[in-house]
Amino acid sequence: MCLVPQTLKQNVQDMINTEIAEQGHPLTDQIYSALAACLEGEESATRREAVAIHSAVLGAVLMFALADGLHDPLKHSKTELVDALIACMTVG
């Protein structure tokens, strides 16, 4: 949501309700702060890790949705991919 204004042409940007767009940042900040609080380590490092986790999960969800929308099954099941994502995040 924070990037939407940056991806639109200027004439479309002018039509966006900036109040709604500005609310995205505090909400995103709360999400990342809550996730970072569950992680161990230095605050700035856990914040970066929270952003990376969020991005990875969003990527997986979008990939699942695209595959479902196109009726093009993925080579691996959703369960296998989620398990692999969890394994990557819990190593070490």
Which tens digit of pLDDT belongs to each residue from 13-69? 555 566 655 666 777 888 899 999 999 999 989 999 999 999 999 999 999 999 999
User: pLDDT tens digit string along 65-89?
Assistant: 999 999 999 999 999 999 999 998 8
DSSP state of 1: -
CA–CA distances in Å: residue 1 to residues 16, 17, 24: 12, 12, 6
